[in-house]
């Protein structure tokens, strides 16, 4: 896929850069693998806004993705590659030998008609799914499980991948794109290759309306508010806030650590890169 630009007929088209989707399936999604979605508008079960600046947006159905890849030693053919409004990567509709169809995360470089398979003692080929213990070190992988049989959790967004650095006893050492190095059980599944749509990071929205289509509402700057509404508010004329950047509730916006210790922290070898 390539990037698509527009002639500058308007101010918005002058700056818009999107991904060219001409090679994707143009029909409707496979209906048995879709279900309806309800928009919360950023509200919890009490009707109170807990995530600000959300609401509206285009309606779309959820595509059920097979993150488990647990149909072992049954080959499948990639029927088509589709756009998914619920995620940044593309998805592929695959048809197994037993006529079962599933959606999977589309790996970069595959095309309709290619064959993929999950299992043991199979070829190290883009799209194939194996246990980490069967994958040679240095291989690029995605959709990696954290707990065996729990479905892929790591490297699922567009263009992302993980590098298998090596094996240490019962654990595989993974180098994540964030700079973090961590250990994962060698019995976890992973898919060979990187996720499709690497150009997603080069998209330029171009106009506020496209964010409204995505369900993102406008956000007001703190310095434009009154002191009663935000710590940065008030002052004569235009001010810069007069203090270090904070949220409306006074929490620092400059790298305050809010992550609570988790049981999986003991598997982290090197923390991700610090902010500059």
Question: What's the rounded mean pLDDT across residues 130-134?
Answer: 94
pLDDT tens-digit map of 33-82: 999 999 999 999 999 999 999 999 999 999 999 999 999 999 999 999 99
Which residue has better confidence, 205 or 276?
Answer: 205
What domains can you pick out in the chain, each with its CATH number?
A: 3-201 (2.40.50.140), 220-265 (4.10.950.10)
**pTM of the full predicted structure?**
0.89
Per-residue pLDDT of 157-190, as tens digits, reads 999 999 999 998 899 999 999 999 999 999 999 9
pLDDT digits (tens, 9 = 90+) for 229-241: 999 999 999 999 8
Beta-carbon contacts of 148 under 8 Å, excluding residues fewer than 6 positions away, are 185, 187, 188, 189
Confidence (pLDDT) at 131: 95
Cβ neighbours, 10 Å, residue 256: 9
Task: Please report the pLDDT score of residue 166 as a whole number.
Answer: 93
- Is the Cβ–Cβ distance between 157 and 89 less than 8 Å? yes
pLDDT of residue 263: 84
**Dihedral sign from CA coordinates of 141, 143, 145, 149:** negative
Average pLDDT, the chain: 93
Strand partners, 191: 129, 142
Contact 37, 62 (CB under 8 A): yes
């Amino acid at each position: 896929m390539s990037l698509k630009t527009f002639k500058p007929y308007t101010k918005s088209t002058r700056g818009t850069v999107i991904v060219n989707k001409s090679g994707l399936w143009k029909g409707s999604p496979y209906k048995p693998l879709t279900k309806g979605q309800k928009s919360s508008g950023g509200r919890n079960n009490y009707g109170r806004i807990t995530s600000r600046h959300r609401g509206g947006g285009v309606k779309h159905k959820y595509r059920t993705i097979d993150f488990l890849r647990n149909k072992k030693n049954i080959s499948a053919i990639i029927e088509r590659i589709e756009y998914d409004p619920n995620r940044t990567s593309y998805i592929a509709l695959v048809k197994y030998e037993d006529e079962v169809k599933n959606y999977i995360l589309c790996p970069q470089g595959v095309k309709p008609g290619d064959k993929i398979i999950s299992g043991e003692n199979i070829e190290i080929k883009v799209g194939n799914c194996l246990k980490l213990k069967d994958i040679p070190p240095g291989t690029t992988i995605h959709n990696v499980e954290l707990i065996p049989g729990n479905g892929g959790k790591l490297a699922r967004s567009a263009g992302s991948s993980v590098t298998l650095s090596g094996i240490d006893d019962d654990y595989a050492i993974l180098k994540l794109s964030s700079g973090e190095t961590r250990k994962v059980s060698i019995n976890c599944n992973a898919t060979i290759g990187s996720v499709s749509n690497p150009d997603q990071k080069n998209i330029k929205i171009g106009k506020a309306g496209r964010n409204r289509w995505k369900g993102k509402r406008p956000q007001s700057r703190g310095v434009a508010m009154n002191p009663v509404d935000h710590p940065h508010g008030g002052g004569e004329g235009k001010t810069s806030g007069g203090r270090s950047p904070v949220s409306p509730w006074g929490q620092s916006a400059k790298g305050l650590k809010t992550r609570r210790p988790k049981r999986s922290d003991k598997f982290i070898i090197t923390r991700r890169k610090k902010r500059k």
